[in-house]
Amino acid sequence: MTRTKAWRSIVALAGALWLASLFLSVVEQTELRGYLVLALGWYGVVTGEMGWFANLVFFVGVAQLSSKGTIKSALSLLLAAAILTLAATTLFWDKSFGLETEEAIAGLSFGAGYYAWMAAMLTVSVGLLFRSAANQQVLS
Listed in sequence order, the residues at least 6 apart from 18 whose beta carbon sits closer than 8 Å to its beta carbon are 55, 58, 116, 117, 120
C-alpha 50/C-alpha 48 separation (Å) is: 6
- Closest to 87 in 3D by CA, of 12, 14, 8: 14
pLDDT at site 72: 80
Higher-confidence position of 16 and 92: 16
pLDDT level of residue 134 (50, 70, 90 thresholds): confident
C-alpha 26/C-alpha 32 separation (Å) is: 6
The pLDDT of residue 106 is above 60: no
pLDDT level of residue 139 (50, 70, 90 thresholds): low
Give the mean model confidence (pLDDT) for residues 11-32. Answer: 91
C-alpha 9/C-alpha 21 separation (Å) is: 18
Partner residues linked to 27 by β-bridges: 110
- E strands, 8-131, in order: none
pLDDT at site 53: 94
Most confident by average pLDDT, 44-48, 95-99, 104-108: 44-48
The pLDDT of residue 55 is above 60: yes
pLDDT at site 140: 53
The pLDDT of residue 80 is above 90: yes
